A and B are shown apart, each in its own frame.
Chain A
Amino acid sequence: GENVEQHPSTLSVQEGDSAVIKCTYSDSASNYFPWYKQELGKRPQLIIDIRSNVGEKKDQRIAVTLNKTAKHFSLHITETQPEDSAVYFCALGTSGTYKYIFGTGTRLKVLA
């Protein structure tokens, strides 16, 4: 069945550096690509999402890029701060189905 591969599983960056997390999927019908952030002991929360009719979306220090041809999408965090330390999950959804699949998560550590 459909799944989404997320890499890396852990990522450590120095404060101020950029972080990139990538997810690869197989179903070309997938057309909704959200990213969730889960801080320690808390619930996952949506931080940004993109739909298949656009290639990039930005929200301050966070951006998501989508390459539908290659079937991958990425989360970019610039000027990382200690409060960006969390687990990040990608997910994907497909119109006309109830399918909503989460990636395996990336633990990001921002080192001060």
Chain B
Amino acid sequence: DSGVTQTPKHLITATGQRVTLRCSPRSGDLSVYWYQQSLDQGLQFLIQYYNGEERAKGNILERFSAQQFPDLHSELNLSSLELGDSALYFCASSSGTSRETQYFGPGTRLLVL
């Protein structure tokens, strides 16, 4: 167990809908990262937050947004869902610097029908 929690574990929804994925980082970690992993693909970096502020952005679609709250948990919002958004979404946390281990949550598996 990495100490990072993600909810829900599974999510099935329809095209055009909106969902929210939630992540709680390890105790003491200030940075949260979001990744998308499609079937048999690598880890696509979406966005990073540090202590409530956005720090880095990857290939995140405009339909997607995220935030980190004062208690450091983070939410990833996916809207106007398309079939191609079906994937495993991981959250990871670290102490904050880019020279530290990232601890991954168990992921949320999203299926868009």
Residues of chain A having any CB pair with chain B under 8 Å: 31-32, 34, 36, 42-46, 49, 51, 89, 91, 93-95, 97-105
From the candidates B2, B42, B48, B106, name the one contacting A98 in the complex (CB within 8 A): B48
Question: Which of A32, A44, A89 neighbours the largest number of chain B CB atoms within 10 Å of its CB?
Answer: A44
Residue in contact with A44 in the complex, picked from B45, B90, B98, CB distance below 8 Å: B90
Check B102 for interface membership: any CB of A closer than 8 A. yes
Which residues in B have some Cβ–Cβ distance to A below 8 Å?
A: 2, 31, 33, 42-43, 45, 48, 50, 55-56, 90, 92, 94, 97-107
In the complex where A89-B42, A104-B42, A105-B42 touch, is A95 in contact with B106 (Cβ < 8 A)?
no
Q: State which of A34, A43, A51 has its C-beta within 8 Å of the C-beta of B90.
A: A43
Contact of B45 with A93 in the complex, beta carbons under 8 Å? no
Nearest chain A CB to B26's CB is how many angstroms away?
13
Contacts of A101 in B (CB 8 A): 45
